Structure 1
């Protein structure tokens, strides 16, 4: 009995020691995992699993370690065990990453089934919303495919090359070729794997032309993802958090990423290196890109307020080289996963990589049209062959030459990551709607033309659609700003006029049309006031000076006389029957004279104008002396006429 008790105690002590040893080993693996040192973490977690110790948290961290190292086969196997054996503890992110790994392996059918499970266990996640939208993403990707011819980059090595950026006649890119270390950075770098920046003339014929960018820029830690201003005088680049040659860790022991700025010195080297002021020791800032006008810096960060693992941000570069406040590009661009590696073309198309938007697996390259720093446009997957089942990233593009470069860890490469060159054979088509509004008016009178037709005609002279001006003479159109169109205004009795609107960035446009009459069908004795549809020219009671509201109407007559220099007019003034007839005759004459005096002051010569007052002698209705009439009927008789003499 005593020996049996001792055996049980020995087994209990052994079990306790075994569990305690595994816990210590897991704690060490977690330290590596939290420090983004995934390869050592994988080795430790595998040892624990081999000894039969397993948990949901262990499988999750092992699967994520594989995932961030782009080992999608082992990641998929690990996630499969996690969601099968520990479904009650599986998180939405576990299902999403599992679906992503299956895509990377080409198993889209199973991936879709896992995404449906992801939708079941999550609420309000943008990735789930996108997947449930009535859109066939795989068909969209297929439709966008075949637009690029991809070729090799002759300066790749058996190591890792990525992050190309245009520089002079060649490129700057990042590589670990000096260390032979195959680990790489995607979201946060492993501090033990060193990357440097290299420069090469892309037209060179020799690998010996590849040179390190310079000791001032490259350090013993990571340097990567760069952009140079058009004048070649300023370099922005990513580097590990390092101060006075020593790396700096945050409270979790992680060496974060920061963006630095360097100036070109007189001797042709980079110096005056400064850290950007919005960097932080608590989170990463990386992957700089510049807007076409170089007044905005785009970058990637996991700062507070980030939607997912990393988001795209922008910040204003002030004229004095200071910076504004960083702004998140918003939920249309950023998802709960990874958005990274931005690039903005001269035509303000934003390219970036993401594993949160629907893609082929891993990081895919996406594009969206920027409209006045509005990032709500449709996000397009650029399709194959740029995108693959692997990670595709650091896409740069010269729109004028239709050529560019990108990096990928796809199968068939020379190293872990490789740079590829490409030529675009057919541009992407973005949904681009431009709002065009305005009025249609008479060119002389400035009166709005109600019921005028406004047509949209394409460059092949095909009428696309038309609209009619409303009671205020206004119209509104929505044009496809990916195409050039003519907007034409027409009105019976007027000469049509049109304006061409070319391919644009979609900014709203206002076009007011001023149509000329095709001819003035008038002769001797006709009233120009009727032809021009003038409003009544009013005078204050018992006065004959021109009122402000009447000036507007008389200006229309002046415009007609300026347009037709041979036109001569007689200005007739009439009153109603109220008041003494002799007084009305005098008052109407003074009003007629006041009218032509106003016109003479505005430049019409007096030999083209005569005036006469008729008082109440030419009434238009029955409202004579002694007849009771409403005010509106009396108003009909209070009028001015501009009778054509010649």
Structure 2
């Protein structure tokens, strides 16, 4: 039987769990149309079912396949054939039989759609897998985790973005069978293997005719054969996946339900997995004691210690989980343990979550086939939130992940060196251990950057030194900056799928604000442009025809030398403000009106004021304003602002009020 001991630990009990679901569902679905039974084929199916119920899957396969070759098919046969390959990691054959099941009847349970899609991805048929996932999405309820697929259709793009952050190497201590579950203890690598030792005491498992797995050790710098780990840790049954405290004095590990030299079984005769603890003494490792939250009725396996060693993370198929195996956390207080707590649906799925590891930063690495990935088991990383929960897992990408099963990842966070296991092609055995070096930081959360510009609403000119504030959806200020000498601003990290507002302001300008919701695209850049309107511009926009633009612009008086009409330098500064306003408002038309006081004759004053008006118009036109937008004439002393007419004694201040220039708005 071409299967590995790792798959026994990983799949066997999960397989039984899935089978119980499948059997119940098939009884309900017995009305589905089946091919006409050929004489004797019902006997082959019944014989296959008998083998299947006794977990003799290879014999069951043979009976089912003979029935199919004879022309008989049923939902029962096709689904169990698919399962017998899927749960042994033989995804190409699993895809073949699930495809036959899908062709035989499209009204199949969503679990089989999911397994079919996963099998297709593992053999690289991503487009077909996407179509099957769409069908699954249609069948799933709104609360079903499968609905997330529609939000993750760009998963290949996301995985590609994450990929290339490790260099992967083979190690010299793999065997021709299965080597997996590496862990680090000082300078030693402790790992699981069912390698052949050619000793008379080595026992073979009936399920696959291969040796039981044991723990082995080798120095990281050592070449040669690994040595079997301490004899009082390994037993005649399976041992696997250990983790050690930082001082190296305590270890937790996985073992078959074998305590005090007695093997225990559940109600169906299955020996499940349990977690054990051993403490180092002067004579070596002490007697292994099973942890109190173990059970004879389900498996608890693959321990990982939190960074502060106050909690243990493990995998289990205990009742009440999200899927076939979930990750749980239990608190540690000396020799006391709390109640197991499920890590929740940000981590756990309807599929399999297993082989956890926590680095010194508190990041959780785990293997899953329930999150969207490349196929089979992929490795994911999840950060610990401020609330103490683990966030959604992020696929760590190729080359660590592949189309095959990739799992049991461990890393030294300070050096970036570590190990993982995989059954990818090209290895020495059925499962192999690989080493790696990390070359770049991983994406562990969905972050985006926000950049933009602040511009003048009317001229589109860039505005420098504007205050820019990032606000959350509750209007709380998160960050503050200023636009640079190019009118640009940026905020390095904002969250995905989150509501924000961006606000810009500057003295003499109105405040501008935009609200937005970020997308779910990882490490993308959002760009926003904020337009500010001058407060003076606001007055111009709200002005009515007939109002004086000079008043709105708060112009200083336009002075001329005595009896002259040329534009003085100080007058140019004021007229430039008019030019600027007309450039900002291209529809604005004005009439320049020049006035004098009552001193001198009426004729002289009219001629002088008219010359000054025309000189003003000429200056504005010379600065780029079309002549059709501006007219002008002089009114002499015909429109005095006060009582200072001919012969009336007035102060210089009163006379000055009459010597004025007006810029009357004709059109906007």
TM-score, normalised to structure 1, is 0.61
Deviation at 1:153, TM superposition (A): 1.1
Please report how far the alpha carbon of residue 214 of structure 1 lies from its aligned counterpart in structure 2 after TM superposition.
2.1
Instruction: Please report how far the alpha carbon of residue 27 of structure 1 lies from its aligned counterpart in structure 2 after TM superposition.
Output: 3.0
* 2:406–2:422 CA contact under 8 A, matched in 1: yes
Asked if structure 1 preserves the Cα contact closer than 8 Å seen for 2:214 and 2:228, the reply is yes
Q: Does 2:362 match 1:348?
A: yes
What are the within-5 Å matches in structure 2 for residues 257-272 of structure 1? 257-267=273-283, 269-272=284-287
* Corresponding residue for residue 307 of structure 1: 322
The 3-state SS of whatever aligns with 1:133 is: helix
Alpha-carbon spacing, 1:228–1:100, altered in 2? closer, same or farther (3 Å): same
**Which residue pairs with 1:386 in the alignment?**
400
Tell me the residue number matched to 2:414.
400
> Which of 107, 115, 122 is equivalent to 1:104?
122
How far the C-alpha of 1:424 sits from its partner, in A, is 0.4
Equivalent-residue separation in structure 1 for 2:184 and 2:151 (angstroms): 38
Larger radius of gyration: 2
Name which of 51, 54, 67 aligns with 1:29.
Answer: 51
| Secondary structure of residue in 1 paired with 2:402 | coil
Unaligned stretches of 5+ residues in structure 2: 1-36, 199-203, 448-464, 481-490, 496-668
Taking a change above 3 Å as real, the CA distance of residues 192 and 152 of structure 1, as seen in their structure-2 partners, is closer
Structure 2 CA distance for aligned equivalents of residues 61 and 50 of structure 1: 16
Contact 2:178 2:431 in 1 (8 A): yes
Could you say which residue in structure 1 is the equivalent of 2:235? 219
C-alpha separation in 2, matches of 1:161 and 1:125: 39
Match of residue 218 from structure 2 = 200
1:80-119 → structure 2 map (5 Å cutoff): 80-88=99-107, 90-119=108-137
1:166 matched to 2:184: yes
- Using a 3 Å threshold, how does the CA distance of structure 1 residues 100 and 421 change in structure 2: closer, same or farther? same
Deviations 1:185-214 (A, max 9, x none): 9xxx9897611110111110222xx11112
Find runs of 4+ consecutive structure 1 residues off by over 6 angstroms. 189-192, 478-483
* 1:282 match: 297
CA 56–415 in structure 1, closer or farther in 2 if over 3 Å, else same:
same
Q: Does the Cα contact within 8 Å between 1:127 and 1:357 map onto a contact in 2? A: no
Q: Aligned equivalents of 1:139 and 1:405: distance in 2?
A: 25
Q: What is the CA-CA distance between 1:19 and the residue it aligns to?
A: 5.3
Alpha-carbon separation, structure 1, partners of 2:119 and 2:467:
46
Give the 5 Å matches for 1:357-376: 357-372=371-386, 374-375=388-389
Partner of 2:583: none
Q: Does 1:54 align with 2:73?
A: yes
Distance 1:17 1:49, change over 3 A: closer
Residues 99 and 467 (structure 1 numbering): CA distance in 2 closer, same or farther, change over 3 Å?
closer
Distance 2:432 2:151 in 1: 35
Cα-to-partner distance string for 1:362-384 (whole Å, 9 max, x where unaligned): 00000111124633524211000
Distance 1:229 1:420 in 2: 23
Residue 154 of structure 1 deviates from its aligned partner by: 1.0
Q: Which whole-Å CA distance do the structure 1 matches of 2:149 and 2:389 have between them?
A: 20
The CA deviation string for residues 14-64 of structure 1, in whole angstroms up to 9 with x for no partner, is x9993563254123222234xxx5445434433443454432122112111
Contact 1:432–1:481 (CA<8 Å) still a contact in 2? no
Of 330, 343, 346 in structure 2, the residue corresponding to residue 332 of structure 1 is 346
After superposition, the Cα gap between the structure-2 partners of 1:286 and 1:244, relative to the gap in structure 1 and judged at 3 Å, is same
Deviation at 1:254, TM superposition (A): 1.7
* Cα separation, 1, equivalents of 2:288 and 2:209: 21
User: For 1:256 and 1:153, how far apart are their aligned partners in 2?
Assistant: 31
Cα distance in 2 for residues equivalent to 1:125 and 1:192: 43
Q: 1:123 to 1:256 in 2, by over 3 A?
A: same
User: Is the 1:144–1:382 contact (alpha carbons within 8 Å) kept by the matching residues of 2?
Assistant: yes
* SS state at 1:308 partner: coil
Which of the residues 146, 149, 153 maps onto 2:164?
Answer: 146
Does the 8 Å contact 1:153/1:420 carry over to 2? yes
Aligned residues: 426
Counterpart CA distance in 2 for 1:134 and 1:395 is: 24
Question: For residues 467 and 71 of structure 1, do their structure 2 counterparts lie closer, same or farther at Cα, with a shift above 3 Å needed?
Answer: closer
Q: Deviations over 1:248-300 (max 9, x none)?
A: 22112221110011111212x32221000000011110000000110000000
Which deviates the most, 248-257 or 168-177? 248-257
Aligned to 1:295: 310
After superposition, where does 1:203-602 map in structure 2 within 5 Å?
203-207=221-225, 210-267=226-283, 269-318=284-333, 320-372=334-386, 374-375=388-389, 377-431=391-445, 466=469, 476-477=478-479
Partners in 2 of 1:23 and 1:178 — Cα distance?
A: 36
State the alpha-carbon separation in 1 of the partners of residues 403 and 193 from structure 2: 22
Name the CA distance, whole Å, in 2 between partners of 1:424 and 1:315. Answer: 30
Question: Cα distance 1:25–1:178, how it changes in 2: closer, same or farther (>3 A)?
Answer: same
Quick one: distance in 2 between partners of 1:194 and 1:298? 25
Pair 1:204–1:125, CA change in 2 (3 A)? farther
Q: Is the 8 A contact 1:29 1:45 kept in 2?
A: no
Q: Is the 8 A contact 1:432 1:480 kept in 2?
A: no
Deviations 1:164-196 (A, max 9, x none): 00012021000110279xxx99xxx98976111
What is the Cα deviation at residue 464 of structure 1? 10
Task: Quote how far apart the aligned CAs of 1:65 are.
Answer: 1.3
1:239 to partner: Cα distance: 0.8
Q: Is the 8 A contact 2:307 2:360 kept in 1?
A: yes
Q: 1:481/1:165 Cα in 2 relative to 1: closer, same or farther (>3 Å)? A: farther
- For structure 1, the 5+ residue unaligned runs are 1-14, 434-461, 469-473, 484-646
Give me the TM-score of the superposition, normalised by structure 2.
Answer: 0.59
Structure 1 SS opposite 2:286: strand
Q: 1 CA distance for matches of 2:358 and 2:468?
A: 34
Is the 1:310–1:340 Cα contact (8 Å) retained in structure 2?
yes
Shift in CA distance, 475/113, structure 1 to aligned 2, threshold 3 Å: closer
